[in-house]
Amino acid sequence: MTGFEAEVFQNQYLATGVDAVDAIVTVRTTGDERAPVRPVADRGTAAPPSNSTERVQLILLDISGSMAEENGRKMWGAQAATKAAIETISDGTLFAVVGGNHEAHMVYPNVGLARASHQSRTDAKRVVDSLIPGGGTAMGTWLRAAADLVRRHADGAMAHAILLTDGYNEHETQAQTDAAIEACIGLLQCDARGLGANWNVDEVRRISSALLGTVDIIPEPSEMAEVFRQLTAQSMQREIGSVALRIWMPKGAEIQLVKQVAPELFDLSHAAVPVDALNADYPLGAWSGGEERDYHLRIKIPVGDVGDERLAARVKLVVDGVEQPVAMVRAVWTDNNALSTRLNREVAHYTGQAELAEVIHEGLAARDSGDDAVATMKLGRAVQIAHESGNEETIKLLQKVVDVESAESGTVRLKREVARADEMALDVRSVRTVRVGKGD
């Protein structure tokens, strides 16, 4: 049975007058009833949850007019990708394919959700082959259709969606899209993919981040099938449908930051679900066996006197509705500078990874606006951070946008000609982080 464990990494010593404590919380699945305790961190283990949750797999496929471009290669690639995903869906899983343009169209089945079998997969693939692109783009409408399917036919199921788009969300307002995203929260998770280079990263990332998923670029139609196959396989491997980080704080304390920092960065600070006056839940979505994720917490607490020790937060996991106490975040005030100024390796590492994503985003924005001086400075700093943290993937992406003269000092020159897809790949993948070895 899959269980959970969590551990906290922090420097608990605060200088006189400091009122904020930072900690990295590592959450992982484990088959062990209880893992051995290590002296470097607080640890607790949650009981294995039930694995009987119903599964739902949805494919939200862009069938707008622009998918007919490139002599039909986009649409053919999307059809092949959708069929690859359908083939990967496990027997017994509920599934549906929704075609999206300025409206949402049920592709398969005609109504509701189908139960995956050899026959239903064959029927679905045949219908997908008959799709003809046309119309505009309204991604919120596609999301609302997905939410309605889950709510009406599989409420409480472990639901996952793959959303593909090749364009901008031109046929609805941002407010309409945001309302549709809100309607999906708690019902389904969504991994979003953009085909080619004519879509907006921030627009698509807003969907995936809110729905606890990932976003990435698929540069070529021929690459779609393998991407869809992998995303569906990952969905089929998820065993636990509902996990939340429950944070208890004493009176007078305040959560300033809750952010996932590995394997990808996204902010959970605004996702809090109040439980009572002292507890709040931060949904973490569905999990599969062998997963490990890191979260950065920053908690503001009333200042203590030298020698005072306080519990800044109690971190628990809520697994399929069952609360499990697991770890503590502590604060001890000291006038010993050697203690209070010691950087915790995990906190320092992920603070740097967050800065890396930020300076990449700022550097690309400056480059687009023609501010070469700021772009050079920001992207140079990105090269330096990536080099120091060993983030080789990000260094390779940066090298498609800048010529690196010195990675150690962050000395770079902007490239004159950069493919739009390379720039978008750097932006969208800037949130991928490298892990740090745990412990001091």
The sign of the CA dihedral 391, 396, 401, 403 is positive
Q: Which position has the token pair 């627009």?
A: 203
Residue 109: is its pLDDT beyond 80? yes
pLDDT score for 326: 77
Q: Per-residue confidence at 2, pLDDT binned at 50, 70, 90?
A: low
Average pLDDT over residues 240-253: 93
Q: Which range among 35-39, 178-182, 397-401 shows the weakest confidence by mean pLDDT?
A: 35-39
Express each pLDDT in 253-272 by its tens digit: 999 999 999 999 999 999 99
Peptide bond preceding 221 in cis form (omega within 30 of 0): no
Cα–Cα separations (whole angstroms), residue 166 to 81, 113, 137, 213, 382: 14, 26, 9, 18, 28
CATH fold group of domain 346-429? Four Helix Bundle (Hemerythrin (Met), subunit A) (1.20.120)
- Residue 435 has what pLDDT? 86
Is the N-terminal amide bond of 263 cis, ω within 30° of 0? Answer: yes
The arithmetic mean of pLDDT across residues 36-41, rounded, is 31
Distance of CA 335 to the CA centre of its chain: 39
Model confidence band, residue 45 (pLDDT cutoffs 50, 70, 90): very low
Identical topology for domains 3-49+249-342 and 346-429: no
Angstrom distance (rounded) from CA 300 to CA 420: 42
Q: Where are the domains of the chain?
A: 3-49+249-342, 55-239, 346-429
This prediction has a pTM of 0.91
Write down the mean pLDDT value for the chain. Answer: 93
Q: Per CATH, the architecture of 3-49+249-342 is what? A: Sandwich (2.60)
Residue percentage of the chain with pLDDT more than 70 = 93
Q: What is the pLDDT of residues 337-374, one digit of tens each?
A: 999 999 999 999 999 999 999 999 999 999 999 999 99
- Report whether pLDDT(325) > 90: no
> 90-102, pLDDT tens digit by residue?
999 999 999 999 9
- Pairing status of strand 292-300 against strand 254-262: antiparallel
* pLDDT attached to residue 371: 98
285 conformational bin, left if phi > 0, alpha if psi -120 to 50, beta if neither? left
Q: Is 81 exposed, middle or buried (0-12, 13-18, 19+ CB in 10 A)?
A: buried
For residue 31, the model assigns a pLDDT of 63
pLDDT recorded at residue 44: 42
Evaluate the CA torsion angle 110, 111, 115, 116 in order and state its sign: positive
Q: Each residue of 61-92: pLDDT tens digit?
A: 999 999 999 999 999 999 999 999 999 999 99
| Domain 55-239: CATH class, spelled out | alpha beta
Amino acid at 19: D
